[in-house]
Structure 1
């Protein structure tokens, strides 16, 4: 059984400009695209795809010693279960954070980022500083998404842009290109959820 799983992780599906795309990375990319795109609509059906893509990427990132990126996938799986039951069939309604709430979240995130970075360095993680940033602010963005705050898309935009550079530097080029799309999709998510916020306000 383990040999079959390992083969799935290392078998090359196709090559693009000299870059070998494994079955695992390709499956993770497709599941992620579907999940994130559905997320911009605020539909409940996004969560199973979110959980599946997180499981696949957790496995992939572990093999590249991106421990924070792998750890955050576990949190995403938990969030997918939480989001499925929290949103319910109605989907997300979308609401705004206060400016004070935004500042508190930003400050707390920076403190957590600086605290986690030395731990990742001690574990021998690759690219500890940006990986820790991605871990902290991905978790915050994920929680905001589950709680239906549209500011989650602001954070996803920043985090996804960071991951474009991080994963390219770690030779995960196919995934890096995926995050270019995610950065653009985050803008669409912000616009769509802004409409949901307006629709939720009583006339």
Structure 2
């Protein structure tokens, strides 16, 4: 456990907790944690996870402007959108897997699924979609295994916490999106 991993842990935890609550201030925390984790993951040969942090940084900037000063207003996606996202997740994960294997990534199968799933979940967060949280749940559970296996124990604990937070977000954003649909 390094100072880098500890700082990345703390800033990322704060950012994700704030993400469930929906204030705009979640995004600077998200960006700071992503910057720190980009370095840590690159050092650990989790190349897709390291690259993913730059997508999270861009998503954090987009989210800052997209959520506006009043924060998130969750809504649910249409069934057709959900199916399209599922096909994109599975297809893109299968295409990325051999690429990661060829460059010597530490955990190709989980990293390919985690990378693509995280990109989609990040987009859903920026778009304020309820479906971000069930997807985060699955992605975070997979990453929990990967990081414990790779001996990034504090990060493994963080992703265990993220998995629990995803359940909280799933419930909270589900209620908020149902309430906002009734107002329309």
Equivalent residue, structure 2, for 1:128: 108
Q: 1:91 aligns with which of 71, 96, 109?
A: 71
The CA distance in 2 between the partners of 1:151 and 1:129, in whole Å, is 23
Give the C-alpha shift of residue 196 in structure 1: 2.0
Equivalent residue, structure 1, for 2:173: 193
Structure 2: stretches of 5+ with no match in the other structure: none
Query: For the Cα contact (< 8 Å) 1:42–1:193, is it kept in 2?
Result: no
Give the C-alpha shift of residue 108 in structure 1: 1.1
Equivalent residue, structure 1, for 2:13: 33
TM-score by length of 1: 0.88
In our comparison, the structure showing a higher alpha carbon Rg is 1
The CA distance in 1 between the partners of 2:127 and 2:47, in whole Å, is 26
Q: 1:151 aligns with which of 114, 131, 148?
A: 131
Q: Does 1:62 align with 2:39?
A: no
Q: Does 1:173 align with 2:150?
A: no
The CA distance in 1 between the partners of 2:80 and 2:178, in whole Å, is 21
Corresponding pairs, count: 183
- Structure with the larger RCO, 1 or 2 (CA within 8 Å, 6+ apart): 2
Q: 1:137 aligns with which of 117, 136, 151?
A: 117
Give the C-alpha shift of residue 192 in structure 1: 1.3
The CA distance in 2 between the partners of 1:34 and 1:126, in whole Å, is 27
The CA distance in 1 between the partners of 2:84 and 2:179, in whole Å, is 27
Q: 1:73 aligns with which of 38, 53, 75?
A: 53
Equivalent residue, structure 2, for 1:116: 96
The CA distance in 1 between the partners of 2:180 and 2:12, in whole Å, is 28
Question: Which whole-Å deviations, capped at 9, do the CAs of 1:72-99 have from their partners, x for residues lacking one?
Answer: 1000000000000111111111110112
Question: Which whole-Å deviations, capped at 9, do the CAs of 1:129-156 have from their partners, x for residues lacking one?
Answer: 1111100000000000000101000000
TM-score by length of 2: 0.97
Q: More strand by proportion, 1 or 2?
A: 1
4+ runs of 1 displaced by more than 3 Å? none
Query: For the Cα contact (< 8 Å) 1:65–1:126, is it kept in 2?
Result: yes
Q: More helix by proportion, 1 or 2?
A: 2
